[in-house]
Amino acid sequence: MASDPGSRNHWYGIWYRHPVDLSAAGLFLFLLGAHGWIEDLKKMCSCDPPPEAPVEEPKVSIDWKNVLIKRDEFLKLVAAVSAGFIGLVIAIPCIGFAFEYFLVPRRQDWIKVGPLESYEVGKTVDVVFTDTTGTPWDGVSAKRSAWLRRVDESNFKAFAVNCTHLGCPVRWEPGAELFLCPCHGGVYYGDGKVAGGPPPRPLHQYATRIANGHVEIKVGPVLAEG
């Protein structure tokens, strides 16, 4: 007589005939469920603190209207810097002139320009000398020249070579007995007075003397007019 598939004897017969297969299947199902239980227990019993959420840095908004300079303010700044630079360029030579004129002592000195017998009466010649009344750093600019004339046996006249108009060096023309300025046509007589042209004053003169057989001229900050 066949057994009822739904009866207890039926399932008992199956287990009796296949005990190993059923045992392995039951163990697999048990382990599968146990794995899920173990993961849940780990989460419940875990002592580690929950991971912190990443902290975002605060975003700073830049107001470019306050950062960027306006056009009119920029032009004012450029104008102020330019004016300061131009003022500095103008002030430097003025300060240098004031320093040299007021603070650097200026003196007068007698400079030898040659022995007495080397000059002929009535002749006007060019003499070169070193101005010792300047500053130590004058260098080659301390070199000076003058037109020296022997008037008689014991008298000399020395004229500055610079035209009183704009300072160009004048030359002596012995045939015409005139000083001529090549720059703007200034003309001077033999005694240094203005003969024509734009010069406003006569040629400047150096004081002269004879000392120990040598002709000397007096140099300094002030020259006499002829």
What residues pair up with 130 in beta bridges, in sequence order? 143
Q: Which residue has the higher pLDDT, 89 or 28?
A: 89
What would the pLDDT profile of 138-153 be if each residue is shown by its tens digit? 777 778 889 999 999 8
pLDDT band for 214, please (50, 70, 90 cuts): very high
- Collect contacts of 221-225 with beta carbons under 8 A, ≥24 apart: 221/106, 221/108, 221/133, 223/160, 225/192, 225/201
pLDDT band for 220, please (50, 70, 90 cuts): confident
Give the predicted TM-score (pTM) of the model: 0.52
Report which residue type is found at 223.
L
Separation CA 99–CA 92 (nearest Å) = 10
Q: Where are the beta strands (DSSP E) in 174-213?
A: 178-180, 187-189, 194-196, 204-211
Lowest mean pLDDT among 35-49, 53-67, 99-113, 141-155: 35-49
pLDDT in the model for residue 49: 58
